[in-house]
Amino acid sequence: MSEQDHDYELVAAALQGDADACSQISNSETTRWLHAVLMKRGASDTEATDLTADLIADCFGAKEGKPPLLEKYNGKGKLRAFLTRAAINRLIDLKRHQKFEGQLPEHLRESSATDEFDLVAGDTVTEPEQDHLVELLRDALLHAFSKCDPLHLVLMRLVVVHGVRQDLVGHLFGWSQSKVSRAINSVMTTIKEETMEEILRTDPWLDLEWDDFLNLCRSSTSFFVGAPSQQERDRSNIHVK
């Protein structure tokens, strides 16, 4: 049995009320690991402790009658990756909330949970688990693509994505194989650098490395097939107008 299959059965048992399964998911190893993940990504010790405790509690029965968070786990990735994304999403939401709160007049900082500020900060009624992380990664990657040489992007897609041999691509464009290789290396470097710079610009407190970015992309099917990004929604609005 693969680790993903094991995780899926474990979650299914926990949702059925199996005490041992619940204990395996919420054990001290999991909470220490989530705490460390959040601390590494920019949370304070107190923030990491609170976010971890809330996340584990919501796994089995979310507040205000919402379904357990574990019901969203579909078994397509490891449970640890699923919990990582959920934790980082909540950290992003918290930090953005704090950023907006710091820009508000004092008399608005204790307002109700349905006022304009809370909606702007992402604490919506309709999407309590909005995937800020996927949006952040997707938008950063789209920004990086916009900075690349279009022809080099085509070459990279032909060779890396579609598996066309470099010598055949070179023959098609009248280039040597070494020139094709240099173009691909150049565009991949641009993608890496521009993506990380855009993430830093958008959320400067979020301490992500390139390997983190790649691992999060691998663990997220919605990164490729999820809801439209903010940039895509903006472009759609422009077309409509």
* 113 and 215 share one domain: no
* 30 and 59 share one domain: yes
* 109 and 9 share one domain: yes
pTM score of the predicted model: 0.58
Two tokens, residue 232: 């895509």
* 33 and 115 share one domain: yes
Among the listed residues 101, 90, 102, 100, the one whose alpha carbon sits nearest the alpha carbon of residue 42: 90
How far is the C-alpha of 174 from the C-alpha of 182, rounded, in Å? Answer: 15
* 56 and 151 share one domain: no
Two tokens, residue 148: 């690349």
pLDDT digits (tens, 9 = 90+) for 186-210: 999 999 999 999 988 888 877 778 8
The Cα diameter of the chain in Å comes to 68
> Which of the listed residues 67, 101, 130 is the one where a domain comes to its end?
130
What integer pLDDT is reported at residue 179 of this predicted model? 95
What range defines the domain where residue 124 resides?
A: 3-130
pLDDT digits (tens, 9 = 90+) for 91-123: 888 888 887 665 444 433 443 333 322 223 333
What integer pLDDT is reported at residue 101 of this predicted model? 60
* 13 and 126 share one domain: yes
Minimum mean pLDDT range among 194-203, 212-221, 225-234: 225-234
* 120 and 27 share one domain: yes
> Which of the listed residues 110, 130, 150 is the one where a domain comes to its end?
130
* 212 and 98 share one domain: no
* 7 and 108 share one domain: yes
* 208 and 113 share one domain: no
Q: How many domains would you assign to the chain?
A: 2
- Residue 59: count of CB within 10 angstroms of its CB: 25
What integer pLDDT is reported at residue 225 of this predicted model? 42
